[in-house]
Amino acid sequence: MNKLTNRDELIALRKECAGALALETKRVLVCAGTGCVSSGSMRIFERLKTLMEERNIPVSVELAHEPHGQSVGLKECGCHGFCEMGPLVRIEPQGWLYTKTTLEDCEEIVTRTILCGERIERLSFQKDGTAYPKQDEIPFYQKQTRLVLEHCGQIDATSIREYLGFGGYAAFETALFDRTPDDVIDEITKSNLRGRGGGGFPAGRKWAQVRRQTEPVKYVVCNGDEGDPGAFMDRSVMEGDPHRMLEGMMIAGIATGAQEGYIYVRAEYPLAVKRLRRAIAQAEELGLLGDNILGTAFCFTLHIARGAGAFVCGEGSALTASIEGKRGMPRVKPPRTVEHGLFDKPTVLNNVETFANVPLIIARGADWYKSIGPENSPGTKAFALTGNIVNTGLIEVPMGTTLREVIFDIGGGVRGGKQFKAVQIGGPSGGCLTTEDLDLPLDFDSLKKAGAMIGSGGLVVMDEDTCMVEVARFFMHFTQNESCGKCVPCREGTKRMLAILERIVEGKGEEGDIELLLELADTITATALCGLGKSAASPVVSTIKSFRAEYEAHIREKRCPAGECQKLKRIWIDPALCKGCSKCAKACPVNAITGQIKQPFSIDLSQCIRCESCIATCAFHAILEG
């Protein structure tokens, strides 16, 4: 491909790509997100390709360059979001979504669907006896507003030409030729775009602060270190629509005067790294990155820095230290990143989703953007819906949508007909919301008031069988493990809190433990150096607030109401069912079971190690748990 040297060439190329897209009258979009790839979607892709080639069906895996006839587009696209039902295959122009596709289905997809336009009933999503052929009709998608994720599942995630064909880099073009940097910042400020990484700091204000710095060298950094367990929104954008994120970063470059950018990606996301590398190479090849872009004075280059597995690197100053090749430890602020960031230069640091919103705002205007969601938190938010929920997956809804709509209408409620208990929002820095909070609108300010935070957008649903003390212990274990060790409150405080929680779930809790936890939480929150430490105690505080009785049952009655804590499990022999065969006593590795032959046996719980060997050996199902 030749480098584009001016605006007209970009417009012409966009037109050419749109024309090539129009010739793909039928399109088969195979989900190539991490979820579907793990369940074998790429083998389905290859099989479909072979089958079509065998039948001499003109198939274009890449958007064609030369004038050509009609063809069937077969594409690797980004995450459709409905991961629970993967591997997913979308059929266009009908807009059908095939779910749980297997290699055996491929032949039929080609002969019936592609050649004859027939729908395969069994592959359509079904619920309560109704089939939902079209993707948009599936309840999971109906209440969503997919803006940032609009291309995920719709376009080839590996092709800059498809992105251009769908109008890509038009916002960048506008920013470069029709606006001044101040105009761009004004538009972002007016849109009230707030950082999607957790804090919700207005992006426009951040950009303006960097623009004001007189230092000639500045950086744009994208935080793709999505470390919250149970969150994968940013990964889906990086994998499914990498160019949109690059476009957002390039616009930030124009607005702030930066000439270089870094994308910091988690080590656990190899596919995202691969797609981003490819996207950057494609943009360089077209001259959209590099020197004198499109014949202007604007120069911009992008680099990828791979993380190496440290949660704390999601914190701004730790992230920049890591890019510099150092231990990723936060530093005292001020000075802030906008003044002294990467390599000590002024730096714009936003997360993936924030940058992905930017092209939308520049292309459609701040007024349009503000018409979505509440005034103080406009726009949409992507959430990863996981845990004990029917429809696990990636969703995008307008800010201000209630938790009830997200969990029950989109998510389909709790798995296995169980009762909803709580939802953890914001990962290890966030809090638990309960049935009482179901009508809470999901936006930055409402959640803050409720003692939780939107965080990066992970929603982990928990059912009645989940022990909230164990959840608190789990998060504390995570944070303790990830504490960088620089400041004492976090390093020592989280250790002490974890020790208390471990004691409680083992049935060794003492009176006063809850108060001690709260006191430690107060101190850590007030004195820790960075966001990781300051929010480390949040899951504990919020579970104590909503589920204090559960803590008390563990401490006072040595009982786990949810029946999850292994060490508090009660295993007992039902005398009515026991035949006194002594098999269990022989199986018990610690001789905790005693009794006389042909008389009911009994278990000494002080000896029992809850290995459940006895349950497995009993032929009469006389040994029960609970």
Q: Which residues are paired to 156 by β-bridges?
A: 77
Comparing CB distances to another protein, the nearer of 71 and 535 is 535
H or E element that contains 161: helix 160-165
Residue 427 as a binder of another protein (CB under 8 A): the answer is yes
- Other beta carbons within 10 angstroms of residue 70's beta carbon come to 11
The least CB distance from residue 474 to another protein, in Å, is 6
The least CB distance from residue 135 to another protein, in Å, is 16
Comparing CB distances to another protein, the nearer of 24 and 463 is 463
Phi–psi pair at 530, nearest 5 degrees: -125, 180
Residue 335 as a binder of another protein (CB under 8 A): the answer is no
The least CB distance from residue 388 to another protein, in Å, is 6
Question: Of 449-457, 460-468, 545-553, 582-590, which part binds another protein (CB under 8 A)?
Answer: 460-468
Comparing CB distances to another protein, the nearer of 350 and 466 is 466
Question: Of 151-159, 248-256, 322-330, 510-518, which part binds another protein (CB under 8 A)?
Answer: 322-330
The first and second tokens of residue 150, run together, are 């609009």
Binding mask 482-521 for another protein (x = CB under 8 A): x-x-------------------------------------
CB burial of residue 290 (10 Å; 0-12, 13-18, 19+): middle
Unique residue bearing structure tokens 């845990």: 387
Comparing CB distances to another protein, the nearer of 227 and 595 is 227
Alpha-carbon Rg for the chain, nearest whole angstrom, is: 27
Tell which one of 100, 205, 306, 364 touches another protein (CB under 8 A).
Answer: 306
Comparing CB distances to another protein, the nearer of 153 and 181 is 153
Using alpha carbons only, give the angle 256, 262, 264 rounded to the nearest 5 degrees: 130
Q: Which of residues 465-484 bind another protein (CB under 8 A)?
A: 466, 471, 474-475, 478, 482, 484
Which residue stretches of 55-159 are H helix?
Answer: 106-108, 115-116, 139-142
Q: Cα separation of 90 and 97, whole Å?
A: 5
Using alpha carbons only, give the angle 373, 407, 537 rounded to the nearest 5 degrees: 85
Comparing CB distances to another protein, the nearer of 374 and 531 is 531
CB distance 332 to 533 below 8 Å = no
Residue 573 as a binder of another protein (CB under 8 A): the answer is no
The least CB distance from residue 481 to another protein, in Å, is 8
The least CB distance from residue 149 to another protein, in Å, is 15
Question: What 3-state DSSP class applies to 229?
Answer: coil
Long-range contacts made by residues 279-284, C-beta under 8 angstroms, separation at least 24?
279/160, 279/242, 279/243, 279/246, 280/246, 280/304, 282/159, 282/160, 282/243, 283/160, 283/243, 283/246
CB distance 82 to 99 below 8 Å = yes
The least CB distance from residue 271 to another protein, in Å, is 10
Residue 327 as a binder of another protein (CB under 8 A): the answer is yes
The least CB distance from residue 344 to another protein, in Å, is 12
The least CB distance from residue 122 to another protein, in Å, is 20
The least CB distance from residue 595 to another protein, in Å, is 28
Residue 99 as a binder of another protein (CB under 8 A): the answer is no
Residue 311 as a binder of another protein (CB under 8 A): the answer is yes
CB distance 460 to 478 below 8 Å = no
The residues near 338 (Cβ < 8 Å, ≥ 6 apart) are 206, 209, 210, 213, 346, 347, 348
Q: Cα separation of 160 and 582, whole Å?
A: 71
- Other beta carbons within 10 angstroms of residue 207's beta carbon come to 26
Number of residues engaging another protein in binding (CB under 8 A): 55
Q: Which of residues 218-277 bind another protein (CB under 8 A)?
A: 226-232, 235, 267-270
Q: Cα separation of 33 and 458, whole Å?
A: 17
Binding mask 366-405 for another protein (x = CB under 8 A): ------------------x-xxx---xx------------
Comparing CB distances to another protein, the nearer of 192 and 424 is 424
Comparing CB distances to another protein, the nearer of 471 and 497 is 471
Question: Of 13-21, 35-43, 212-220, 592-600, which part binds another protein (CB under 8 A)?
Answer: 35-43
Q: Cα separation of 407 and 195, whole Å?
A: 24
Residue 323 as a binder of another protein (CB under 8 A): the answer is yes
Tell which one of 195, 458, 489, 595 touches another protein (CB under 8 A).
Answer: 458
Using alpha carbons only, give the angle 418, 124, 397 rounded to the nearest 5 degrees: 60
Please give the full DSSP string across 202-222, using - where no structure is assigned. BHHHHHHHHHH---S--EEEE
The least CB distance from residue 616 to another protein, in Å, is 13
Residue 326 as a binder of another protein (CB under 8 A): the answer is yes
The least CB distance from residue 623 to another protein, in Å, is 19
The least CB distance from residue 255 to another protein, in Å, is 25
Question: Of 29-37, 286-294, 370-378, 590-598, which part binds another protein (CB under 8 A)?
Answer: 29-37
Tell which one of 28, 258, 305, 349 touches another protein (CB under 8 A).
Answer: 305
The distance in angstroms from the start CA to the end CA of the chain is: 68
3-state secondary structure 410-428: HCCCEHHHCCEEEEEECHH
The least CB distance from residue 177 to another protein, in Å, is 34
Q: Which of residues 337-356 bind another protein (CB under 8 A)?
A: 343
Question: Of 92-100, 146-154, 284-292, 308-316, which part binds another protein (CB under 8 A)?
Answer: 308-316
Question: Of 53-61, 194-202, 324-332, 374-382, which part binds another protein (CB under 8 A)?
Answer: 324-332
The first and second tokens of residue 536, run together, are 């480390």
The b-or-e profile of 320-342 (16+ CB within 10 A means b, else e) is bbbbeeeebbbeeeeeebbbbbb
The least CB distance from residue 320 to another protein, in Å, is 11
Residue 101 as a binder of another protein (CB under 8 A): the answer is no
Pick the closest to residue 357 from 317, 398, 404 (CA basis): 398
The least CB distance from residue 248 to another protein, in Å, is 21
The least CB distance from residue 428 to another protein, in Å, is 8
Residues that bind another protein (CB under 8 A): 34-35, 37-39, 83-84, 86, 226-232, 235, 267-270, 305-311, 322-329, 343, 384, 386-388, 392-393, 424, 427, 458, 460-462, 466, 471, 474-475, 478, 482, 484
